[in-house]
Amino acid sequence: MKLKVKILGLEAEKPVVVINKSDAEEIDVRPLDRVDMTTGRRKGTAIVNVATHFIRPGEIGLYSEIADHMKAANNETIDVLPSNPPSSLIHIREKLAGKPLDEKGMRKIVEDAVARKLSDIEMTAFVTALYNHGMTTTEVAALSKSMAFTGKTLDLGKKEIFDKHSIGGVPGDKTSMMLVPIIGAAGLTIPKTSSRAITSPAGTADRFECLAPVDLKLEEIKAVVKKVNACLVWGGAVDLAPADDLFIKIEYPLSIDPLLLPSVMSKKKAVGAKYLVIDIPTGEGTKIKSTKEAEVLAEKFIALGKSLGIKTVGASTFGEQPIGHAIGPALEAREALSTLMDGKGPADVVDKVTNVAGMLLDFKLRKGGKQEALRILKTGKAYKKLREIIEAQGGNPDIKPDDLALGAKRIELKSSVSGVVSWIDNRAIVEVARAAGTPKDRGSGIYIHKKMGDSVKKGDTLLEIYAEKEYKLERALKITKEVRVMGIGKKVDMLLEKIPRMVEHPKYFILER
């Protein structure tokens, strides 16, 4: 059927066309069916929406994505025919029915997802089927590989790529920002790609962007890493494992995460990682509640790593309170920068980063990695490497913590009682920080003055909230009155119940196969 193009100027993030109901009936397609389109120059496939008024019979409305792909112009004639359903639909239905998929089926699904050939309904059916039926080891590996190889890959022509990933869940975790310079300073290659915050107050990309540009293209990343053997960039600017973002869009509203392992490992595979440490923040208020649970997850990462040719270790780290004092992009960047400059900083920050970096160094040193990481930090070698990375990515290497602007609206929360901090609620901290404007308002966030185990006198400042806008500060303040952010216990209570937790240092274990 020949239809006249009407460019809609609307974005759908997938190829969508709108045709009139009568034309849809004429070629026997229903909403969400697909049509094949042909002009003299181009071919394409799109998902059909049906309109009764907005698009007249004989017209076809094109969303931006498909209009660009077809290089279509207004009033041009385009040939439209019903298309066969994407072949991956058969495999989605198989998985939905509980049948494990082979590598070919898995790959076809990922290819069609990346080509935006699948509707939200089909994508959701796939993601919920994975959630319901789980995946065999073979399936996880096939999915990870498919996700890695349907996008671009970073080829650094070196064999020894080191990498690190945190499954997240603890606020204020600026580990990567400090670990990368340490590993780089040790002479190892670590092309670190990171995400921006989705539901947290800051992602590594948001933090590091306070120091240097992070949205580098693949060729630029290559150049940076060749020069200084490390980088800290935003993964979203490059097309590494692009299927991941599409699956996350489905998982997020449903609060399910069946693709956690392939999501992480496909990106690592795409940058050519050979050695990897997975940080698993553990404890109440994080995603993983116990070291037992962390161990199970780590073993899965290790097994998957093995089938992908990535030597993997897992670290279960203490996550029941924020890492360090600072939460929010600029605040965290300040804390990380001054720790690297001074060679010292908050005890938990230094302990965590040297432990996790040490596990990576141990791949080469066999042991003593933590001490070596600490030495690199203390001697200023890590800071030197940080300056190199900042400069290579186009930032100013002389940047100082005070150069990073904080929100001008500020309020201090003071304690109304004396005692000892017995707990800090990660989720409440995140909620307050988001209300204050994180991650968008870079200078907003929270500075925690008192952490678990710290003594508090009545009137002491417990935390400060920073915001760039007055209404956001008020919004954040309102939340601190609705949810409890921290608990102050009597000393005697603490001694009885809380000391094991208070004096507990971050716990690590190494799993290796």
Q: Residues in the site for a copy of itself, rule: CB under 8 A?
A: 8-13, 18, 25-26, 28, 30-33, 49-54, 61, 64, 85, 89, 92-93, 96, 98, 119-125, 128-129, 131-133, 198, 249-250, 252-256, 434, 440
Q: How far is the CB of 114 from a copy of itself (least distance, A)?
A: 18
Give the nearer residue to a copy of itself in terms of CB position, either 196 or 370. 196
Torsion 192-197-203-207 (CA) sign = positive
* Nearest C-alpha neighbor of 66 from the set 16, 119, 116: 16
Q: How far apart are alpha carbons 322 and 324 in whole angstroms?
A: 6
Give the nearer residue to a copy of itself in terms of CB position, either 98 or 368. 98
- The residues, ordered by sequence, that sit 6+ positions from 358 with a Cβ below 8 Å of its Cβ are 368, 369, 370, 371, 372, 373
Residues in the chain: 513
Catalytic residue among 215, 245, 257, 454: 257
Phi-psi region of 231 (alpha: psi -120 to 50; beta: other; left: phi over 0): beta
Give the nearer residue to a copy of itself in terms of CB position, either 9 or 459. 9
Q: How far is the CB of 303 from a copy of itself (least distance, A)?
A: 25
Give the nearer residue to a copy of itself in terms of CB position, either 434 or 451. 434
Position 89, amino acid: L
Give the nearer residue to a copy of itself in terms of CB position, either 13 or 412. 13
* Nearest C-alpha neighbor of 278 from the set 202, 168, 170, 198: 168
- Catalytic residue list contains 257: yes
In a 13 Å sphere around the CA of 143, the CA atoms on its Cβ side amount to: 28
Tell me the CA end-to-end span of the chain in Å, nearest whole number: 59
Q: How far apart are alpha carbons 101 and 96 in whole angstroms?
A: 10
Asked if 237 contacts 195 with a C-beta cutoff of 8 angstroms, the reply is no
3-state secondary structure 445-505: EEEECCCCCCEECCCCEEEEEEECCHHHHHHHHHHHHHCCCEEEECHHHHHHHHHHHHCCC
Catalytic residues: 257
